[in-house]
Structure 1
Amino acid sequence: MRRTRVGPYPPGMTRISYPPKPAPGDRIAVVSPSSGLPGILPLPHELGLERLREEYGLEPVEYPSTRRMGSTPQERADDIHAAFADPEIKAVVASIGGDDQITVLPFLDRELIRANPKPFFGTSDNTNLLAFLRTTGIVGFHGSTVMCELGRPGAMHPQTADSLRAALFTSGAYELRPAERWNDVNRDWADPATFDAEPETRPGTGWTWENADRVVEGRSWGGCLEIVGWLLMADREIAHDLGEYDGDVLFLETSEELPSADEVFRTLRNMGERGLLRRFSALLMGRPKTWSFERPNSPEEGARYAACQREAVLRAMRIYAPDTTIVFDVDLGHTDPQLVIPYGGLVRVDGPARRITVTY
């Protein structure tokens, strides 16, 4: 089995460790490192806070910019610092994503956060903070924002809820499983009727495997593809020694902005030209979101979009990393359910058995 170097660490390689876990009854921070959208659309936010209290037994604590649109990068960084520095706060959860968290990174105090490691949960634009935590030496958790997953109308998807519970409270291995039913069509968060019933779901389609003749294990890196591209352009939170990623497991997913197949290919191509793609032992490609309010695709149109994206990924990987194990349609991104991926934590991809196991 190919393994990444998980320790002892060679000189210069980042030492990455899991932070202590919260327990029921603990206080956890709810922050908005990207967008103060809870202040404009409070219904899913309030529902998510209620579920943190009633279903997970945690006490959410909000900060000054959590519900304030237009907060400065410094103000959002101040909230992050306050959450990590407070010994009574045992975990940090993002309210939602956005599109400018990259501007917060220069204001973050790496030593303060390193001295106070805590589990951080977030997706989409929160890829920025997750990447920052990995380069700081802390495992983060790609998954479950307050408004999206915890604030899901009707009830949380059972696979999301189980994955989040395991990631919050346990430290062992957790096997990811293909979605039994899934959805990527949203309803209006401003309409109270939206929250009267669960979203309609479709039967799961399983995972699709390429080069599945081996077992690999490594630390994860990646996140939302668009944000990874921005980090690469800004040269932020990317190891200058690409040997840092040797044998790791890359995971990627695309957002509700529905990037074109050409854009997906070009981002992967540029990662390949930088020498990144060939470093990873496996790629987990999230099930693509195929519907948005701006582009309300029919199921047939969505299927064509997903097929074009898959071909774009395969084209890039065949050029730059033709032997890499690839798994498509893992439920780790902007679709529902959403499984939590430990960012910088261990991921085992067993091709012959068609199994994926993460360590929370």
Structure 2
Amino acid sequence: MAFRMPPRATIRPPALLPGDTVGIVAPASNIDRPALLAGCAALERMGYKPYFLESIVERDLYFAGSIERRVAELEHMFANPEVRAIVCARGGYGVNYLLPKLPIEKLLANPKPFVGYSDITVLLTWLTDHGLVTFHGPMVTKDFGREYGIDLETWMAVLGNASDYEHTFSIDEVQPLVKGSAEGVLYGGCLSLLAASMGTPYEFKTEDTILFLEDVNEKPFQIDRMLRQLLLAGKFKTVRAFVFGEMLDCQQPHGQDYTLQEVILRILAPLGVPVAFGLSSGHVRAANRVLPFGVCAKLEVGEPVRLRCEAAVAQGTGAPRILKEPSKQ
């Protein structure tokens, strides 16, 4: 299938293959070494070579070291020719300190898959807006470090295969809230981080997007407030479709007599574009899926829901080998 519109991101990093070195970075909150090593062990079982700087476990307040340390770590991983992909250790908070100091030209000169979610959203959208395809997906201490934390199918298909990717979701996986089909640029991330970017030089760009939104531990009225803010700010005027994540634990602590889906529909249904709910990428219970940001995609919201994305990586080098499940010993 040929897509009718151009992608936002035109720089496709080389595909990630087993045997490649995966650089691990901590650009936000501090991390624990045992969780880091557990995630590294999973990457090794999948056939990769995990690599990190010893300074990754440094702490400064609640951050993974100083601003200078975190900027230098990112620069090093992008510049190092042995590193074939960069996966964040965790999110938390702190990426917004780095953006004014990161040299975008140097990062784009050495394109490679960059993977993360949560607070990493601001890095994903910033890099994508500058032309690099990025990847919303599992992180080392949060997902690789636990059994069945990643969705191996999308990891292999999106990051390791230079061809279009298509998946049909069962009604139990993704719910159709407003039926229809749309084509656009897949893009988005954690809703609270996207809302926080408003009014800054790093404000996210929603033109002609299939907008993926997810979050964790936000009450329904808080989701309502953020969606309403973005609607009033005009951020949804040219959005082609919406896809929500699991929205993990986004409920009132003592129960409620309405659903989050009803809250979402009150705001988005009048826009007359497709809306789906439940795609497991980002903050999820298990099997974190990889979504490529910046590529063209087609979303069909019906029963079932289908998502097709154009190739997100360029053909890699070396002979492809079979990946192993990270949960297997």
* 1:131 shift after superposition: 0.9
Which amino acid in structure 1 is aligned with residue 279 of structure 2? V
Matched, 1:156 2:123: no
* 1:333 shift after superposition: 2.7
Measured against aligned partners, the alpha-carbon deviations of 1:55-87 in whole angstroms (never above 9, x if no partner) come to 2x1111102442222212221111000000111
Higher RCO (CA < 8 A, seq sep 6+) = 2
State the partner residue of 2:326.
Answer: none
Secondary structure in 1 matching 2:151: helix
- The separation in 2 between residues aligned to 1:349 and 1:53, in whole angstroms, is 34
Matched, 1:5 2:13: no
Secondary structure in 2 matching 1:250: strand
State the partner residue of 1:52.
Answer: 43
Task: Find 2:287's aligned residue among 337, 340, 345.
Answer: 337
- The separation in 1 between residues aligned to 2:3 and 2:231, in whole angstroms, is 21
* 1:171 shift after superposition: 2.1
- The separation in 2 between residues aligned to 1:334 and 1:113, in whole angstroms, is 27
Measured against aligned partners, the alpha-carbon deviations of 1:112-158 in whole angstroms (never above 9, x if no partner) come to 01111110010111101101110121011000100121111xx325x
Task: Find 1:205's aligned residue among 169, 172, 184.
Answer: 172
What is the RMSD of the two structures over their aligned residues, measured on CA atoms? Answer: 2.6
Unpaired runs of 5+ in structure 2? 313-329
State the partner residue of 1:166.
Answer: 157
Considering fraction of residues, name the structure with more helix: 1
State the partner residue of 1:348.
Answer: 298
Residues 46, 270 of structure 1: alpha-carbon distance in 2 compared, 3 angstrom cutoff = same
* 1:178 shift after superposition: 4.0
* 1:3 shift after superposition: 6.4
State the partner residue of 1:216.
Answer: 182
* 1:219 shift after superposition: 1.4
Residues 237, 135 of structure 1: alpha-carbon distance in 2 compared, 3 angstrom cutoff = farther
- The separation in 2 between residues aligned to 1:65 and 1:139, in whole angstroms, is 28
TM-score (norm 1): 0.77
- The separation in 2 between residues aligned to 1:2 and 1:312, in whole angstroms, is 35
Confirm or deny: 8 A CA contact 2:220 2:260 kept in the other structure.
Answer: yes
Secondary structure in 2 matching 1:327: strand
Secondary structure in 2 matching 1:170: coil
- The separation in 2 between residues aligned to 1:88 and 1:79, in whole angstroms, is 14
Measured against aligned partners, the alpha-carbon deviations of 1:2-55 in whole angstroms (never above 9, x if no partner) come to 966316xxxxxx65332112222121210001122134xx1x321210111112
Measured against aligned partners, the alpha-carbon deviations of 1:156-181 in whole angstroms (never above 9, x if no partner) come to 25x712222223311223334547xx
Which amino acid in structure 2 is aligned with residue 62 of structure 1? F
Secondary structure in 1 matching 2:281: coil
State the partner residue of 2:316.
Answer: none
State the partner residue of 2:141.
Answer: 147
Secondary structure in 2 matching 1:324: coil
Task: Find 2:214's aligned residue among 253, 262, 266.
Answer: 253
Which amino acid in structure 1 is aligned with residue 50 of structure 2? P
- The separation in 2 between residues aligned to 1:351 and 1:177, in whole angstroms, is 10
Matched, 1:225 2:191: yes
TM-score (norm 2): 0.84
Measured against aligned partners, the alpha-carbon deviations of 1:220-267 in whole angstroms (never above 9, x if no partner) come to 12100111111114341434xxxxx43321000012xx1122211121
Confirm or deny: 8 A CA contact 1:139 1:342 kept in the other structure.
Answer: yes
| Aligned pairs for 1:48-87 within 5 A | 48-55=39-46, 57-70=47-60, 71-87=65-81
Matched, 1:91 2:85: yes
Confirm or deny: 8 A CA contact 2:220 2:250 kept in the other structure.
Answer: no
Confirm or deny: 8 A CA contact 2:177 2:265 kept in the other structure.
Answer: no
- The separation in 1 between residues aligned to 2:12 and 2:75, in whole angstroms, is 19
- The separation in 2 between residues aligned to 1:102 and 1:49, in whole angstroms, is 26
Confirm or deny: 8 A CA contact 2:183 2:296 kept in the other structure.
Answer: yes
Tell me the matched-pair count: 305
Measured against aligned partners, the alpha-carbon deviations of 1:302-331 in whole angstroms (never above 9, x if no partner) come to xx49x5422222122135xx2110001111
Measured against aligned partners, the alpha-carbon deviations of 1:315-356 in whole angstroms (never above 9, x if no partner) come to 22135xx21100011112311222111011232212356312
- The separation in 2 between residues aligned to 1:29 and 1:247, in whole angstroms, is 32
- The separation in 1 between residues aligned to 2:24 and 2:9, in whole angstroms, is 27
Secondary structure in 2 matching 1:277: coil
Confirm or deny: 8 A CA contact 1:127 1:223 kept in the other structure.
Answer: yes
- The separation in 1 between residues aligned to 2:120 and 2:222, in whole angstroms, is 21
Which amino acid in structure 2 is aligned with residue 314 of structure 1? L
Which amino acid in structure 1 is aligned with residue 197 of structure 2? L
- The separation in 2 between residues aligned to 1:110 and 1:177, in whole angstroms, is 36
Identical-residue share of aligned pairs (%): 26
* 1:273 shift after superposition: 1.6
